[in-house]
């Protein structure tokens, strides 16, 4: 079905799968914690709203976005989760750190999706400034943590349907 969705916060929440037996890992970068904490709150609220049980949401922290890849791998290997959401916030500075960190995390998460054949959801803001990040962490552009949570639920559901031969 064609869609012109530009903002996953606009998803029809009635179409969301019931998450009551889903197990989720969330790995949060502590760098820009004001933002990543808001992303994490948004993600948790959304998971709980769709039926996930608090005891099935496992949250871990890493120092910065660059560490999210290993944090996500450790979560996948040790926490028996159905999906891992990574939450970070990289803000453009005066040096090229921004580029290297963004490149590292995007490639890292892509590799993990393939390596483990399970959903690793990219909830990392990459913005020019703090205001743009605030706008996407519960501000005028919604909360990208909510969107990461929706995406995780949809991908777990898709994977289960595929494995069980249920028509999509
Ligand atoms: C070093 C660094 C810089 C400059 N900027 C950010 C940022 O905007 N967001 C973020 O999550 N982390 C940043 N870091 C830290 C790196 O992600 C990483 O923690 C360090 O380079 C140590 O590996």
Q: What is the pLDDT along the chain (168 residues), one digit of tens a residue?
A: 334 555 666 667 677 899 999 999 999 999 999 999 999 999 999 999 999 999 999 999 999 999 999 999 999 999 999 999 999 999 998 889 999 999 999 999 999 999 999 999 999 999 999 999 999 999 999 999 999 999 999 999 999 999 888 777
Whose CA is closest to atom 1 on ligand 1?
Answer: 97
Report the separation in Å between the CA atom of 44 and the middle of ligand 1, taken as the mean of its atom positions. Answer: 24
Q: Rounded to whole angstroms, how far apart are CA atoms 127 and 164?
A: 40
Q: Rounded to whole angstroms, how far apart are CA atoms 161 and 8?
A: 22
Q: Is the CB of 88 under 6 A from ligand 1?
A: yes
With the most atoms of ligand 1 within 8 angstroms of its CB, the residue from 62, 64, 91, 130 to mutate is 64
In the prediction, which pLDDT does 1 show?
33
Ligand 1 atom closest to 30 (CA):
11
CATH of 41-128+138-157, one of 3.30.300.30, 3.40.1050.10, 3.40.50.960, 3.40.50.1000: 3.40.50.960
In the prediction, which pLDDT does 109 show?
98
| Annotated catalytic residue 97 | yes
Whose CA is closest to atom 18 on ligand 1?
Answer: 64
Ligand 1 atom closest to 62 (CA):
19
In the prediction, which pLDDT does 15 show?
77
- Cα 43 to Cα 9, 101, 142, distances in angstroms: 11, 22, 12
Catalytic residue (one of 33, 63, 78, 97) = 97
In the prediction, which pLDDT does 2 show?
37
């Amino acid at each position: 079905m064609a869609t012109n969705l530009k903002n996953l916060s606009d998803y029809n929440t009635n179409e969301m799968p019931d998450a009551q037996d889903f197990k989720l890992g969330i790995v949060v970068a502590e760098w820009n914690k004001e933002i990543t904490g808001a992303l994490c709150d948004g993600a948790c609220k959304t998971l709980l709203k769709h039926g996930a049980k608090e005891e099935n949401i496992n949250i871990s922290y890493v120092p910065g976005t660059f560490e999210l890849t290993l944090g996500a791998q450790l979560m996948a290997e040790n926490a028996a989760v159905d999906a891992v959401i990574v939450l970070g916030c990289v803000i453009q500075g005066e040096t090229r750190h921004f580029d290297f960190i963004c490149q590292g995390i995007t490639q890292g998460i892509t590799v993990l999706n393939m390596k483990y054949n399970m959903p690793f959801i990219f909830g990392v803001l990459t913005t020019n400034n703090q205001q743009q990040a605030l706008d996407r962490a519960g501000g005028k552009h919604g909360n990208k943590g909510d969107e990461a949570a929706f995406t995780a639920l949809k991908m777990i559901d898709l994977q289960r349907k595929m494995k069980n031969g249920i028509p999509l």
